[in-house]
């Protein structure tokens, strides 16, 4: 990869140790002759990533999600550093990044291009989701009836607390908590998982990446909303249709060359069982 000469830092300063870690990394970058800009403001200014070679996000996965759409549109790779809890996206620990940053700055890394969802309400503009689009009642604890179509064909109606449309990246987020499947991040699919469906046969559905999904509200006197990555809410009025497709944009995510996806999954999810003696690392 091309060496990083301009590096943006997005720092969730209230996170324990995030500000101090940022100071250390900025010092390392400047010592290597790298130009640095830093922000702790959220939301991040629209032009913050303009002209940058990469963006180092220090916080949790939520912090990274807040920058993901901007980075995807700008084509700026993200280096995710975890100062939160699980950290599926922010895969570098504080110790890792202190050791690895000088190497990354030389261009010695790999980029994993993560799929995103494009979501629009009626004729409104599109928003991008790295993890998921959640459709539920605007007022919590209301059961909704939602009709789902795929490429113009009726899939089914759901009586449920809501629907999660997840990318492979987002399969380890709300989708997993709702009983949905784990999906390898390179898989070209979209997962639909109902939340607490009132029919036992309603289970997750995996759609091909090129599908055009449509959701209609069949609930009398109930307003629904679409929530993007748990951060942005859109009110769905009357007979407006929510359209979800795979986006043209991809998020470039920086990883070490020896990054192993299932090693991360085993660690983060605390999977039981061992791999000793099975020839698997």
Q: What is the CATH number of the domain that holds 41?
A: 3.40.50.10330
How many structural domains compose the chain?
2
Question: Do residues 238 and 122 both lie within one domain?
Answer: yes
In a domain, 81, yes or no: yes
Question: Do residues 216 and 154 both lie within one domain?
Answer: yes
Question: Do residues 121 and 105 both lie within one domain?
Answer: no
pLDDT of residue 187: 96
In a domain, 42, yes or no: yes
CA–CA separation, 93 vs 90, rounded Å?
A: 8
Q: Are strands 78-82 and 54-59 parallel, antiparallel or unpaired?
A: parallel
Q: What is the CATH number of the domain that holds 186?
A: 2.60.200.30
In a domain, 276, yes or no: no
In a domain, 278, yes or no: no
Q: Is 159 a catalytic residue?
A: no
Question: Do residues 13 and 92 both lie within one domain?
Answer: yes
Question: Do residues 93 and 137 both lie within one domain?
Answer: no
pLDDT of residue 277: 52
pLDDT of residue 279: 53
Candidates 53, 61, 132, 229; catalytic one: 61
Query: At which residue do the structure tokens 């996000």 appear?
Result: 57
pLDDT of residue 280: 47
pLDDT of residue 257: 83
pLDDT of residue 88: 81
CA–CA separation, 129 vs 41, rounded Å?
A: 21
pLDDT of residue 64: 95
- Per the structure block, which two tokens stand in for 65? 């999600």
In a domain, 279, yes or no: no
- Per the structure block, which two tokens stand in for 267? 């660690």
Mean pLDDT by 10 residues, the chain (281 residues): 96 95 98 98 94 97 94 97 83 93 96 97 94 94 93 96 97 95 96 93 94 96 95 93 98 88 79 60 44
In a domain, 232, yes or no: yes
Question: Do residues 105 and 134 both lie within one domain?
Answer: no
Question: Do residues 137 and 229 both lie within one domain?
Answer: yes
Q: Which residue segment(s) compose the domain that 212 sits in?
A: 116-248
Question: Do residues 100 and 122 both lie within one domain?
Answer: no
CA–CA separation, 183 vs 105, rounded Å?
A: 30
In a domain, 274, yes or no: no
Question: Do residues 131 and 229 both lie within one domain?
Answer: yes
In a domain, 280, yes or no: no
CA–CA separation, 185 vs 110, rounded Å?
A: 14
52 and 12 Cβ atoms separated by less than 8 Å: no
pLDDT of residue 281: 44
Q: What is the 3-state secondary structure (H, E, C) of 211-272?
A: CCEEEEECCCCCCEEEEECCCEEEEECCCCCEEEEEEEEEEEEEECCCCCHHHHHHHHHCCC
Question: Do residues 20 and 142 both lie within one domain?
Answer: no
Question: Do residues 29 and 120 both lie within one domain?
Answer: no
34 and 56 Cβ atoms separated by less than 8 Å: no
Question: Do residues 123 and 241 both lie within one domain?
Answer: yes
């Amino acid at each position: 990869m091309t060496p990083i000469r301009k590096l943006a830092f997005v720092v969730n300063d209230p996170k324990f140790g995030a500000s101090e870690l940022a100071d250390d990394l900025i010092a390392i970058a400047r010592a290597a002759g790298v130009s640095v800009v830093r922000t702790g403001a959220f939301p991040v200014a629209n032009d913050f990533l303009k002209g940058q070679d990469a963006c180092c996000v220090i916080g949790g996965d939520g912090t990274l999600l807040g920058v993901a759409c901007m980075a995807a549109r700008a084509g700026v790779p993200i280096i995710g550093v975890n100062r939160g809890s699980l950290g599926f996206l922010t895969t570098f620990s504080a110790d890792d990044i202190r050791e690895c940053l000088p190497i990354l700055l030389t261009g010695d890394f790999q980029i994993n291009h993560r799929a995103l969802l494009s979501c629009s309400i009626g004729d409104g503009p599109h928003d991008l989701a790295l993890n998921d689009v959640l459709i539920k009642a605007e007022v919590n604890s209301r059961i909704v009836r939602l009709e789902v179509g795929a490429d113009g064909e009726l899939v089914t109606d759901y009586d449920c607390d809501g629907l999660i449309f997840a990318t492979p990246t987002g399969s380890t987020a709300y989708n997993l908590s709702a009983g949905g499947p784990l999906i390898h991040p390179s898989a070209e699919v979209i997962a639909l998982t109902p939340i607490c469906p009132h029919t036992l046969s309603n289970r997750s559905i995996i759609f091909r990446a090129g599908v055009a999904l449509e959701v209609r509200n069949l609930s009398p006197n109930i307003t629904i909303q679409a929530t993007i990555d748990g951060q942005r809410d859109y009110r769905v009025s009357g007979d407006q249709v929510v359209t979800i497709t795979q986006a043209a944009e991809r998020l470039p995510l920086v990883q070490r060359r020896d990054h192993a996806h299932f090693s991360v999954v085993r660690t983060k999810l605390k999977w039981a069982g061992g791999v000793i003696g099975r020839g698997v690392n």
